[in-house]
Structure formats: C-alpha cells, structure tokens
A and B are shown apart, each in its own frame.
Chain A
Amino acid sequence: MQTSTVILVLFALCCVSFAVGRFRSRAVGQQAGGIHLLHSLPHHYGYLSAMIAALPALLVLLVWMLLEGRFIEGRVIAGLPADVQALSESRLGLYYNQIIAYAAGGIDASTLSEPQLAAAEQYNALKSESGWLKLALVVVVAVTGSLLVLGRIKPDLRARNHVENIWTWMLFGCSFIAVLTTLGIVLSVLFEAVRFFRLIPATDFLFGLQWSPQIAIRADQVGASGSFGFIPLLVGTLLISFVAMLIAVPVGLMSAIYLSEYASKQFRAITKPILEILAGVPTVVYGFFAALTVAPFIRELGESLGLTVASESALAAGLVMGIMIIPFVMSLSDDIINAVPDSMREASLGLGATMNETIRKVLIPAALPGIVGGILLAVSRAIGETMIVVMAAGLSAKLTVNPLEAVTTITVQIVTLLVGDQEFDSPKTLAAFALGLVLFFVTLLLNVVALYVVRRYREQYE
C-alpha cells in the first residue's frame, strides 16, 4: 500500500466529510427554524469536520511512517539465524540492506543466501501487512473524527471560531518550523560531533596542526590513526577569506560611495542592478571560472614573474570569492551610508569641506560601526562559501599563509569527507560533522555580532 494512495484516500474522505458537514448543518438549521439561526456559515461546519478528520489522521500516518522501518527491521532481524544476528552492527546493516534491495527488486536473487531470501519474503509480507494496517488506521481515525464533529452540529456550535483557531495554530506551526530547523541543525551536527569527540579528543581537534583524515585499513600501517588537527583548515579558510575581503571591501565600498554620493540618478539606476547580477550568479559558476580561467591565468602570470604558484592557489579561489562578495558589500554599505542623516552631510559641506573630505571625515566615521557589521556579514559568507573552494582550492591541508600555495578549507573538507561512499561510524565521516559544528557556530557568532552592531547603528540615527 503506497503512502500516496493512503493520502488520496484520506483526501477523498475529507471531501466527503466536508460535503456531509455542510449538508447536515443546513438540515439542522432548517429544522431549528431557518438557516440564519446557525452560528456559522454552512461551509464552516464542513471545514470543521474535514479538518478534524484530516489532522489527527495525518499525525497518525506520519508517526506510523517514521516507526514502520525500524519496526519491520527489528522483526526481520529477529527472524534471522542466530549466527547472523551475532554479526557486528555494520555487517548486519549491510546484510539487511541486501534483503531490502532484493525485496524492492533491485538486485538478483543469485547474490543472496537462503536465509536472506526467506527474510526478504518476510519483509515483503510485513511491509504489505503494515500498508494495510496503515490504511485501516487512517480511515478509522478520520471517520471517527468526522463523525464526532457531525454528531455535534447544532445551531450554537461555533464552527467558524473553531476553524479559525485551528488555522491560527497551523500558521503558528509554519513559523515554528524556523525554530525546528535551527534545532535540527544544532542537534544533527552536535550529535555526530559528540560521537567524533569520543573517538578523537577535542583538544587534538582544536589545537592539532596536522590534518590527514585518511585512515589506514590495517592497524600497523603508517599513519594508521589519521590526524584531525583543524588549525590548518582554519588558517586556510581565513587566508582565502582574507584575500576575498581584500578584493571585495575596497571595490564594494568605493562603488557604494561613488554610487550613493557622486553618481547621477540615472547612472545609479542602471549600474546597481548590473553589478547585482554578480550576486545572482550561482556559486558553481564562480567555481568553474576560478578553476578553469583564473587559476591557470594566475599561475602563468606568476611563472612569468619567476614565482612558483600552485595550480590551486589560495589567491585564485580568494580572488573569485571576492568578486562574488562585491555586490554583497556594496548593497550593505550603500544602505548604511544612506542611513547617515543628510544634516551631517550638509553641515560638513556648508563649512566648506569638499565632498571627499565630507565622506572621509564625516560619513565614514559616522557609518563605521555599520560598515564593520556589514564586513563581518561578508566574512561569514566567505567562510561558509563552498563551491568556489571545492572546485578551485586544494585538498591537502598545508599550514601556510602564502596565498600562492594551495590550502584547503573547512567546507572543502566537509564535502570531500561526505561525498561518495561513507560508513557512519568512522571518525572520517564524523569529522565532517565536527567541522560543520565549528562552521555553524563561527558563522552564527559573526552573524549575531554583525546584526547587533548594524541594528545598534541604525537605532542611533533613527
């Protein structure tokens, strides 16, 4: 029984429930001496019965779907021979996955053992049984809910108020998803990161100067344990972000100043949207540009000057990231410079200062907290940026501040550790979540500080 079928059945039930509720409320109204005696319009009664039918049933369906897989897995594994059950957790998982793949028709029967075939049969039986039970339960819950409402339809049932209450709660639920998302992010990275720190001490991670997450298969190999010192990644990330800021801040800030203080209205109206195209270009495009155009160009340029430049230099990635961030810095500084009251501008000009002196001695100092906040937001974007560095920065973690060498970043390591085949108990994959945790909190901190600074600044002039 497909879930979509169950949902369709539920939807049909709701429609019926709506129609019956509306019809019944009319009948009840007529009986009581006229439809105007009803508290609410007939369709409100319909909505109420449909909602009371649907919501609990959907909840039941959701819970069932979440628990179904685990329950079936438990039952199937309990039916397996004892020697299979004694396997380690990951082996057992593999064994069970084969059963599921076969049951879904994904793989050939010849690759499976006898007990697996039997288990697959049991799996399919349980699955279809569960499907029918799910449908039955949903129908029973929906019909019960609907009947409960239908039985209570009386002229003084405040159907509209009930419907609107439910609606308001649903609206609240929608906005609460933001909180749940944050919670989900924190819990998911924290949970896996804690597992990581159980394997690798947190001090090794935070202060180690070596990052080589490749873990040898045999215990006696060289570098068997892998090392997870995150300092080289941090330095690499900051180096690339620094290069990016070196491009983005002067260009973005100067453009914003020119456009808001000097440029004519028409020039500004044309220029600003064009420069903002840079913000709409997908990051993967920048990555491609950095890897295939900018990096080779910088390498050749460096070689012609007699410098050795790595083909995946931090300079190339940082430069392109800077280009990406220009419009971001520009529109933030633009907002902030515009928020400086005109009276300050006029006072300075009235004293005979040139525009340039006004900007440098009055506007910028006044806008400085806001600009700093904006730059912090830009830094947080640069640190979290992924695709450019995945495509244009290196993989090996080298502890250097030379922008001509290849460095790696936090986001690059998260991607390389998690893309491809993964097993979920090796420190290698768990390390990605530890990095994610660091990334999340660093960017969160930057954002909170930046937003606080910007808000304080705005309030100052409002």
Chain B
Amino acid sequence: MSNETYKNTALIQASLKKRYAREKRFQWMGRFAVFLGFLFLFILLFDIVGKGLPAFTQQYLLIDLDLSADALDVAPDADAEALSRANYAGVIKSSLRDMFPEVKSRSDKRMLYRLVSVGAEYELRDRVMADPALVGTRQSLWLLAHSEAASYLKGQVDPNSPEAERRVKDAQITWLDQLHADERTKSGFNTQFFTAGDSREPELAGIRVALYGSFLTLAVTFLLAFPIGVCAAVYLEEFAPTNRLTDLIEININNLAAVPSIVFGLLGLAVFINFFEFPRSAPLVGGIVLALMTLPTIIITSRAAIQSVSPSIREAALGVGASKLQAVFHHVLPVAMPGILTGSIIGMAQALGETAPLLMIGMVAFIMDAPAGVTDPATVLPVQVFLWADSPERGFTEKTSAAIMVLMGFLIMMNALAIYLRKRFELK
C-alpha cells in the first residue's frame, strides 16, 4: 500500500514539471490574446490618426494678382452684380503665367493652373466683392493650393519615385520647389474642413453639412426613441401583467436587439418611403429608422435602471396615497434617470455611428448645402466617410480619416458622459 502511494507520488512528481510548463504556456497564451486585442486597437487608431492628421492643415500659395478692371473683364466702376460675374479664373491663370514666364506649351500651362485650387476663384471673388477698392490694384494674395500640390508640400509625395506613379508631375514639383524657396508657400489650420460642405475637390470638402445632418437625424432619433423607450420600459417593469402578450413583447424586444441594422433599412425603405411616401434622403426617415433600431437598447437598459431602484421608494410613495402612476413618474423615474440616460446615450452613440440603414433610405446623395429642416435631403457623418472612402482621389483618403477622427471624437465624448453618469449613479 505505502509502496503503491509512493509510486503514485513519484508519478505525479515526474509529471509536475510538464504540467507547470503547460500552465505557464496557457497563461502566456492568455496574455498573448489580450495583447493581440490591444495590438489591433492600436494599429487601427494609429492608422486612422496617421492618415487623418495632415487633413487638418491646408496649404496656400502666395500669388501676385493683377486685379485691374481689364484683367477682370469688367468696367472700372462695376457694380456688385458685374463683379460677381467677373473673370477671376482668368486673373489667376494669367497671374500664374506671369510668375512662371518660361511655361509655354498648352499641357504645361494646364499643369501650372492645377497648382491652385478651383475654389480659389470663388475665394478671390468673395474678397473682391467685400472690398471693391481692390479692383485696379495689384495684390499678393494667399490662395488655396490644389490637393495634389498640397500633398507634395506636405511631404507625402516622393519626388524620386517614377513620374507615372504620382499625380504631381516633375514640372509641378520644380515650380512648387521654386515657390517654396521664395517663401511663397505656407500652411495653416484647415478651418474649411469644419465650415464647408461636400465637394468634388478634396481641398474644398468639409464636414459641416454632414455634421448638421447627423445632428438633425440624431435629434429625431432621440425625440422618438427616448420617450417611447422609457415609457415602454416603465410599462414592462411596473404595469405589465404576466400574460402571453407581455411575453410576446419581451421576446420581440430581445430579438430586435439582434436584428442586423440593414434590415431596419429595408423596413424604412419599404414602409416609410414606399408606403407612407415620406421624402427620400431626409433626416426624418433616417431618424425614425435609427430610433426603431436603438429602441431595444434603450428599453433594456431603462428596465435595468428601473429595476435597481429600491422598492422602499415605490412603497413609501404608495403608502402616502400616491397612485401607481404618480409613484413611478414622481419618485421611481427620477431616481432611475441617470441609469436611463446612460443607456440612452450609449444607444445614441450607436445611432451616430450607424451607416447601413441610412444607405437604404437614400442618404447617400451628394449634398453641398446644409438641410434646413428634417424633410430636406441630408447626409450624415458616417455616410460622408463612406462616400469619401469610395472616392479615388488621394486627397480624400486623408479627409476620410479626418472625418473618422471627428466622428470618433463625438463617440468618445458621448461614452465618457455615459461613464461619468454611471459612476455618479453608482456612488449613490
């Protein structure tokens, strides 16, 4: 017997080393898995930030402009009407030709003109119209550079790479180097990115319209989903009898929470746009669809918040003669509100980042002007990201990343607010 035990002990002793090694290996596998998660997150964020940061600066070129009435093709005493139709593009082009007199051939000239953004002429027009005294003078003005020229100035183009592989050609690089040597280039913070709408030209494109559309859409979503979600949660927690109907509602809520978002888009398309004939591309429909999508999240978190309110509060209210409705709305809900708000903010953050259902209801149009109301065509930030990401122009890649950074900024703020509320709620 004792011999037997000894044998077993020896067996165990002999296997221990292997078992401990396996234990170590297993632990390292766990560490490696966590590390992989971190690594993926880091690569993702690093990639986006690295690509997006340059979009926040903009490049300008100092151009000597001949703003004589002749060059502008207007009468010397032109009124605002005539000034608005003056030939600003021509002025910019002839000024560029004057600065680089050696450029002769037609194709070279076209390349030269491509140094300056097509938006520069509108900028020039606005300046001249704001100050008509400029007509007849010579001015050196900072004009917005074309996105390709800008990408060279930002150092994103390797001048030693084969010419066919890059959009900025050798001649343009020579001119840009010359301008740079003359201190005729500068970079500044890209305010246009926050004040402009979508554009075909990367250097002119901005996110204001998309932000505005996102705001309107989220407003509709919140106004619908928050009251309906809270009321539904109140009903299910406080009033619902236990019967088949209540079960049906609960099963539905749980299932809706896991329905793919694109299916909600199909619902919006078939029901709201085709059947009820709501306007396409409008924040109203987008908001309704996102509200239906976020409702389960809000209901589930609100129910949890209501459930966690101590029964003594309810009982005290009922005890002094409040009706059930009064007890809930005057006493239980205010206590549960931080929890409900936390859930709602998380739901809103989901809605803010959602793209697929909005594609279905046509919010993919090219929109330059901010929507005036909830029934006007609009686009939202994630859809703008999608549209820009599809665009072949290189300049849009950095715009896309920058728009993603703004979107993620909003999401982080919303989640931070939710966490703050939850922390405060927990302290009580």
Contacts and interface: CB of A to CB of B under 8 A. Distances in A.
Interface in A245-300: 250-255, 257-259, 262-263, 271, 274-275, 277-278, 280-289, 291-293
A355 B26 CA distance: 9
Given A178-B253, A280-B415, A414-B262, 7 more contacts: A182-B255, A192-B270, A259-B34, A262-B30, A275-B41, A281-B44, A419-B362
Interface stretch (B85-93, B129-137, B194-202, B350-358): B350-358
Given A185-B259, A415-B356, A171 B267 contact: no
Given A164-B325, A288-B389, A356-B23, A177 B33 contact: no
B30 A354 contact: no
B353 A439 contact: no
Interface of B: 12, 19-20, 22-23, 26-27, 29-34, 36-38, 40-41, 44, 47-48, 51, 227-229, 231-236, 239-240, 248-249, 252-256, 258-264, 266-267, 269-271, 274-277, 292, 295-296, 299, 323-325, 349, 352-356, 359-360, 362, 364, 382-383, 385-386, 389-390, 397, 400-401, 404, 407-408, 411, 415
B236 A175 contact: yes
B404 A440 contact: no
B281 to A, nearest CB: 11
A182 B256 contact: yes
Contacts of A250: 33
**Does more than half of chain B's interface fall in helix, strand or loop, or is it mixed?**
helix
A274 B38 contact: yes
A184 B323 contact: no
A66 to B, nearest CB: 7
B264 A185 contact: yes
A387 B386 contact: yes
A147 B31 CA distance: 73
A274 B40 CA distance: 11
A283 B352 CA distance: 11
B389 A419 contact: no
A176 B235 CA distance: 10
19 contacts: A69-B277, A179-B248, A188-B266, A251-B36, A258-B30, A262-B30, A274-B38, A282-B408, A284-B353, A284-B404, A288-B385, A292-B397, A293-B47, A387-B386, A390-B386, A391-B389, A411-B356, A432-B266, A436-B266
Contacts of A381: 258, 260
A327 B397 CA distance: 28
Contacts of A178: 232, 249, 252-253, 256, 295-296, 299
Interface stretch (A9-17, A129-137, A138-146, A441-449): A441-449
Contacts of B31: 258
A411 B357 CA distance: 11
Contacts of A359: 26
A350 B142 CA distance: 78
A181 B411 contact: no
Given A188-B271, A259-B34, A175 B258 contact: no
Nearest to A172: B235
Interface string A344-368: 0000000010111101100000000
B249 A282 contact: no
Contacts of A390: 356, 359, 386
A82 interface: no
A126 interface: no
A276 to B, nearest CB: 10
B260 A175 contact: no
A255 B37 contact: yes
Contacts of A355: 23, 26
A92 B394 CA distance: 44
A170 B228 CA distance: 10
B396 to A, nearest CB: 11
Contacts of A451: 254
Contact of A439 (B40, B252, B262, B354): B262
Contacts of A258: 27, 30-31, 33-34
Given A178-B252, A323-B40, A326-B37, A354 B20 contact: yes
B359 A383 contact: no
A188 B275 CA distance: 10
Contact of A411 (B41, B235, B260, B296): B260
Nearest to A326: B37
A424 interface: yes
Most buried by B among A254, A411, A419: A254
Contacts of A191: 270
Contact of B22 (A354, A385, A436): A354
A380 to B, nearest CB: 6
A299 B353 CA distance: 29
A65 to B, nearest CB: 9
A175 B253 CA distance: 9
B360 A418 contact: yes
Nearest to B385: A284
A6 to B, nearest CB: 15
A436 B23 contact: no
B124 to A, nearest CB: 31
B232 A174 contact: yes
Which 9 interchain pairs have the tightest Cβ spacing?
A384-B260, A258-B30, A282-B353, A188-B270, A254-B33, A175-B232, A174-B231, A171-B235, A386-B356
A278 B36 CA distance: 12
B260 A443 contact: yes
A419 B30 contact: no
A436 to B, nearest CB: 4
B373 to A, nearest CB: 9
A399 to B, nearest CB: 23
A32 B405 CA distance: 68
A207 interface: no
